[in-house]
Amino acid sequence: MTAAKISLKEGHVRGVMFSIGVCAIVIVQTYVAAIFASYLTNHTGVIEVLQRVAFVIFVLITVYYLLIAKQQSNVQIEPQIRSKHSRFFQGMFLSSINVFPIPYQAYMTITLASFGWLEFDFTSIISYVAGAAMGTFVMLYVYIFFFDRIKNKSIASQKSMNYIIGGITGIISIVTLINILKEL
């Protein structure tokens, strides 16, 4: 969503530079996740603990976005624009403090490996990492131009985005709870 906001306020080039910065970190995060997934396939007890921790985290995120975030006021701060590179490094920074892609990519890697679509060899992992980075860039690029089209509509408001994010994490929480209950 930040890529779309930057693009709306500062232009498409800055939004794309932000997206490239994000993708640079996604490459590292996805590689770490694939290595972590390789470890997890050999230690199934760890997966059960991580599933329960993920459930709690997703419930907390859902509560935050549906109940708490809507109460916060929006204070608009005029950004100081220095260069295109600052948006690149901002993308890298924001992506690096967002650690949620690591467990997500580990889960996806384990799922693909369980179907036999991915092996834990160097070529397969690098191919998966490249695909994840390219997919991330394409989605950010789509966000940039999609939100440019709907910028005057009510769905583009921060409150609407909070409800969408809260709804998505709520669905993930319910699915995770169902999986935990099935295993009991």
- Residues 23 and 131 sit within 8 Å (Cβ to Cβ): no
Write down the pLDDT at residue 93.
92
| Kind and range of the H or E run holding 90 | helix 84-97
pLDDT mean over 75-95: 70
In the structure, what pLDDT confidence band is assigned to residue 104 with cuts at 50, 70 and 90? confident
- More confident: 114 or 90: 90
Q: What is the DSSP letter of 66?
A: I
The confidence score (pLDDT) of residue 81 equals: 53
Reply yes or no on whether the pLDDT at 147 is more than 80. no
* Cα distance from N-terminal residue to C-terminal residue, the chain: 37
* The pLDDT of residue 153: 60
Q: Which long-range contacts (CB under 8 A, 24 or more apart) does 79-86 make?
A: 79/9, 79/10, 81/10, 81/14, 84/13, 84/14, 84/17, 85/17
Per-residue confidence band for 181, with pLDDT thresholds at 50, 70 and 90: confident
Q: How confident is the model at residue 124 (pLDDT cuts 50, 70, 90)?
A: very high
Total domain count for the chain?
1
CB atoms within 10 A of CB 175: 12
- pLDDT the model gives residue 27: 96
Lowest average pLDDT, out of 5-19, 77-91, 113-127, goes to: 77-91
Candidates 165, 105, 175; CA nearest to 133 is 105
With 90 as the cut, is the pLDDT of residue 98 above it?
no
Cα-based distances in Å from 116 to 29, 44, 53, 119, 124:
22, 18, 27, 7, 12
Task: Select the more confidently predicted residue: 133 or 108.
Answer: 133
Is residue 176 over pLDDT 70? yes
Range of the domain at 25: 2-183
Q: What is the mean pLDDT of residues 82-106?
A: 81
Q: Regarding predicted confidence, which is higher, 183 or 80?
A: 183
Question: Span 19-34, mean pLDDT?
Answer: 94
CA distance 108 to 58: 17
Q: Which residues contact 176 (CB under 8 A, 6 or more apart)?
A: 51, 54, 55, 58
**Alpha carbon distance 135, 131 (integer Å):** 6
pTM: 0.68
